[in-house]
Copies of this chain bind each other. A is one copy, B any other.
């Protein structure tokens, strides 16, 4: 077996960061050589995350302040950025210059257009020159480009659950141009680990609520990728996310109209053609509802579909772990691709 790749995690105090550490601490081909966090500098990993105590380097590795040169000196070949939107870009630049590959979990490099970025994120893009180079890294869609990339933009959690069922259907030309409607439900890790009264246990446990209606930021990357898949200027889509009282897991239900002549059998064919050889996409079949409890803690996305003959509408149903396949699992899946590891390495724990 070849030597493991040396990796660093920049900004690991949140839920995606912790999930990334969880996966990397036990990855058979990766060695975690540095973890940074301005606020936690000097603290051992397992002091911050008592769950990791006694596992791998969790007791011996301490957080350091983030500094590109230090990461290079620690031997890191790949840096994962688990930072807030707008912050990632400034860390990516020096790391790339020093020759590291960068796998970014934020939204900073997901859009091709700096104009669209500014519209949805409210400020000018800090490194527009990198947008063309970055790869919007859905491994099942863009595997070749990922293998060759040095700057990886991991898709958002909602977008992953929405795009994977829709892209094969749009590529196959099965959907009409009527607006698509998407209702997603996410566990609370999706809202982040921050001091916030609306995210308290007592505010969430008895609550189901939509939010960011009608313009969640993820609409921008969803629209970009759907248009690319459809070969059209635009694919109209309405997206309503909901917060539900679970730790993790996204359940997405999508309503779309088939083109005249297209059938649910065509849907089945297109999905199987796209995903039968993909280890992390599990196609459940017609009228089969996926369940978040079967995917949380994993890198799987489960997909079912149904046709409502009365109303003439297609229903797509997908579940994934928002911090797994929707974030950190997918980031590790991308690392496996970049490094030529077994695609499932470190990702089959259930």
**A residues touching B (Cβ–Cβ < 8 Å)?**
15, 22, 25-26, 50-56, 178-181, 183, 185, 187-189, 193-197, 199-211, 213-215, 219, 223, 236-238, 240, 242, 244-247, 249, 251, 253, 255, 257, 279-280, 282, 284, 287, 289-298, 300, 302, 304, 306-313, 315, 317, 319, 348-350
Contacts and interface: CB of A to CB of B under 8 A. Distances in A.
B201 A348 contact: no
Contacts of A242: 185, 251, 253
Stoichiometry (number of copies): 4
18 contacts: A25-B350, A26-B350, A50-B284, A51-B294, A53-B282, A54-B300, A179-B312, A181-B255, A193-B200, A200-B201, A206-B292, A206-B296, A209-B251, A214-B315, A219-B310, A236-B310, A238-B310, A238-B311
Q: Which of A26, A50, A197, A201 has the most CB of B within 10 A?
A: A201
A236 B251 CA distance: 24
Report, nearest first, the 5 A-B pairs whose CB atoms are least far apart.
Answer: A183-B183, A181-B255, A201-B204, A195-B195, A214-B308
B179 A209 contact: no
Nearest to A46: B282
A26 to B, nearest CB: 6
